[in-house]
A and B are shown apart, each in its own frame.
Chain A
Amino acid sequence: MNGTDNALMAQVSNGEVAKLAVLFERHHRPLFRYFVSMNRNRELSEDLVQDVFFRMLRYRASYDPAQSFTAWMYQIARNASLDQAQKRKAEVVGIDEREDRRMEPVSSAPGPEESAAKSQDLALLRRALDRLPADKRELLVLSRFQNIRYEQIAEILGCEVGTVKVRVFRAMRALEQAYLAVTEEGRPDMNRDAANGN
């Protein structure tokens, strides 16, 4: 698919701008999920997706078909995200709990108790992920949420593949620490709730 993406973008670059519609249809959803995973803000993420595709039109002449289209797109996405963060004078947008609830996936767990426990675990994991520094969170979003290969992540971030693998391992370790921390913080509330008979 990437070969075709590269060829399409080369055509856009050569003036066939209508071909960008095909690339939009293929990539706007994963790109939207990438932004939402990074900033937890649906409206802002939609604006950023628009911005990325507009930048592709604007800078289409700079596209080098030898480079992976996906890597190029995520490089633009990162720049758009950084510019937006600078405008808002805040790198990480706060967690919106209502957004969290709206983004709950449909669960296929067998029982309500198990489902609730699993849902709580996932909410804690989400909170732990949000606490990671942006560079570590981004690595996990790209590799795990977006399923981008380590080779392409290396191209996006401008580093060696080996470095990406080591960073993913470190990010997972940091996530484990953050998860343990949010779990510990949750305990006093649970104990207090239990003592109040709730």
Chain B
Amino acid sequence: MNCEETKLLLAEYWSESLGDEQELAFETHIAQCDACRSEAERLGAMWKSLALIPGSSKDFEPGPGMRTRFYETLGAYRQGLESAPRRGFRERILALWPKQPAWQMAAGFALLVMGVGIGYAVRPELQGRWEAPNSELAQLRGEVSGMRQMVALSLMQQQSAGERLRGVSYAVQAPATDTQVLSALLTTVNQDDSVGVRLYAVDALHKFGASPVTREAVVQSIRKQQTPLVQIALIDLLVDWKDKSAAPELAALASNESIDSAVRQHAKWAIGKLQQ
């Protein structure tokens, strides 16, 4: 390490954020170089003193009026929000439009493909030939479906809960045979931070129907979930699927003491419902 490189590390040295290797190389250099050692020590002492000067002290507090003013402002803002007129249909439709340019482009492209597809389908020369196989139309439908799948899968990975909700709403439109979307929904149900998103994903699972794989995944999920609301929604899903073969799994849940009592009761109710 030379003098120039040492200077680049000084800020991290003072804030004690150097890695072990860097610190060793740094200290080896300053042990041998008087100029660098002197500068590191002089500026280092000043760095320590900075934390002691008036104004940096943690004893320095704002006045009590500041908190009062903040809560008054917040209260007034909330009141203003509650009394504001509800958004009209147009605003609500506009609010669905994605905010990020990448999604705007994806949505724009999807709309374009859909527009072309619809235009192609309703052109006059096709009238009366609906039953005839049309490979181009099928291809366009495939592209729209693929685009929807891509948007759904990508949105469900987003940080914002709002974006993920939108992703789930795209997933609802995916074909029931789309295993990638099904898998993404199950992941959302199991891992999403937001209870709202998880519940919405449970609703979206309805259309995929019961199969040994989905049933097992749902039962596993009930065991993993920490929120009774989601556990109950998953039990309702098994009931809605009218999957009688889920009864033994539900019985196991009903007798599992580690699960919330409301959930166990709901599992018992579900067993009765499936036996009807």
Chain B residue, CB-CB nearest to A164? B11
Known: A172-B43, A176-B43. A10 touches B161 (CB 8 A): yes
Cβ proximity bits A34-71 to B, threshold 8 Å, 1 near / 0 not: 00110010100110011001100100000011100000
A79 to chain B, nearest CB (A): 18
Interface SS of B by simple majority: helix
Asked if residues A145 and B159 are in contact (CB atoms below 8 Å), the reply is: no
Q: Please give, as numbers and ranges, the residues of chain B lying within 8 Å of A74 by CB-CB distance.
A: none
Q: Please give, as numbers and ranges, the residues of chain B lying within 8 Å of A66 by CB-CB distance.
A: 159
Does B12 touch A at the CB level, under 8 Å? yes
Does A103 touch B at the CB level, under 8 Å? yes
Interface size on A, residues (CB 8 A): 56
Asked if residues A36 and B60 are in contact (CB atoms below 8 Å), the reply is: yes
Asked if residues A17 and B81 are in contact (CB atoms below 8 Å), the reply is: yes
Asked if residues B77 and A179 are in contact (CB atoms below 8 Å), the reply is: no
Does B53 touch A at the CB level, under 8 Å? yes
Does A21 touch B at the CB level, under 8 Å? yes
Chain B, interface residues (CB within 8 Å), range: 35 or more
Does B124 touch A at the CB level, under 8 Å? no
Q: Please give, as numbers and ranges, the residues of chain B lying within 8 Å of A64 by CB-CB distance.
A: 159-160
Q: Count A/B pairs, Cβ under 8 Å.
A: 136
Q: Which among B7, B50, B74 is the interface contact of A169 at CB below 8 angstroms? A: B7
A115 to chain B, nearest CB (A): 12
Taking A33-B58, A122-B52, A169-B10 as given, write out 20 further A-B residue pairs in contact, using a Cβ cutoff of 8 Å, ordered by the A residue number.
A18-B74, A18-B78, A28-B66, A37-B55, A42-B62, A42-B63, A46-B62, A53-B73, A65-B159, A66-B159, A105-B60, A122-B54, A125-B53, A150-B12, A165-B8, A165-B11, A169-B11, A172-B43, A176-B42, A176-B43
A-B pairs with beta carbons under 8 Å apart, 19 shown? A33-B55, A36-B55, A37-B55, A50-B70, A53-B74, A54-B73, A105-B54, A106-B59, A126-B53, A143-B11, A145-B50, A145-B51, A150-B11, A165-B11, A165-B12, A166-B8, A172-B11, A172-B14, A176-B42
